[in-house]
Amino acid sequence: MTFRFGYGTNGFANHRLGDALRVLADLGYHGVALTLDHQHLDPFGADLPRRVAAVAADLDRLGLAVVVETGARYLLDPWHKHAPTLLGPGRERRISFLRRAVEIAAELGAEAVSFWSGVKPDDLPGATAWDRLTAGCAAVLETAERHGVRLGFEPEPGMLVSDLDGYETLAARLGEPERFGLTLDIGHCRCNEYAPVPDCVRRAAPRLVNVQIDDMRRGVHEHLEFGAGEIDFPPVLDALGSVGYRGLVSVELPRDSHAAPAIARESLAFLRQAAGIEAPA
């Protein structure tokens, strides 16, 4: 199995985007998970069409595939991390941003746009939360259909949609649209119980369009409070290979920008070793 490894730009927060892309290409990565943010292709900055075209040209020249990530912490609200979500006040701003992300992805030739539900406010009834989420996703899906872009919805621990059961419920509410794919973060891959991660990968396979993989240097995910624990990476990669997954497997280390080139090099070496791939001479 030949894997296509990528690296997230949120782990290169101290680099210009063009410099980050060149470093990743020089290291041997096949692609990039591009988080739209203030310093990296700000979707609300001036002269957006020109900047998007320049990034598309860079990606093409460097031979890098791309997925678009939408999890920037303070892009929409300078006071509240990841706010607003699709569930609470200001959700129209989140929907507008996601639709803009889809349009940018279309111009970049991105393989997917990844996003999540958000945390349910304590005072919001569950039925209302699900109705809001479904309506928001339907609006984003309309833009994705129009532009020919695939969506990768990510279950996230602690959010309204936290596992594969929740994703499947949401997909059913939307009518099982073909473009409504799945982003799987290996660090907190869950079904409805804490099943082995390779089993979750196999269950996710029919809808899988984007894979995130993180903190392989320590083998521990940031969301340990949700029970993910340590990860044995070779069986996970074996599972991805066995289901024929051909998308990017992208490293996500947003807290390690201080040493981004070195950590990106270490991460690629680790992944190649876990996958049984010989390093280039």
Q: Which range is least confidently modeled, 182-186, 194-198, 259-263?
A: 194-198
Backbone angles phi, psi at 244, to 5 degrees: 75, 25
- Integer angstrom CA distances of residue 210 from 167, 256, 259: 14, 22, 25
Residue 95 token pair = 């929907």
- Residue 279 in any domain: the answer is no
Render pLDDT for 213-240 as a digit per residue (tens, 0 to 9). Answer: 975 554 444 433 333 446 788 999 999 9
- Residue 101 in any domain: the answer is yes
Count of domains for the chain: 1
- Residue 52 in any domain: the answer is yes
Residue 143 has a pLDDT of: 98
CATH of the domain at 261: 3.20.20.150
- Residue 118 in any domain: the answer is yes
**Mean pLDDT across the stretch 251-260?**
94
Q: What angle is formed at CA 229 by the lines to CA 269 and CA 264, rounded to 5 degrees? A: 20
Render pLDDT for 74-115 as a digit per residue (tens, 0 to 9). Answer: 999 999 999 999 999 999 999 999 999 999 999 999 999 999
Tell me the C-alpha distance between 184 and 207, whole Å. 10
**Mean pLDDT across the stretch 240-248?**
96
- Residue 190 in any domain: the answer is yes
Residue 242 belongs to domain spanning: 4-265
- Residue 273 in any domain: the answer is no
- Residue 39 in any domain: the answer is yes
- Residue 99 in any domain: the answer is yes
Tell me the C-alpha distance between 255 and 271, whole Å. 19
Q: Which of 67, 132, 146 is nearest to 99 (CA)?
A: 146
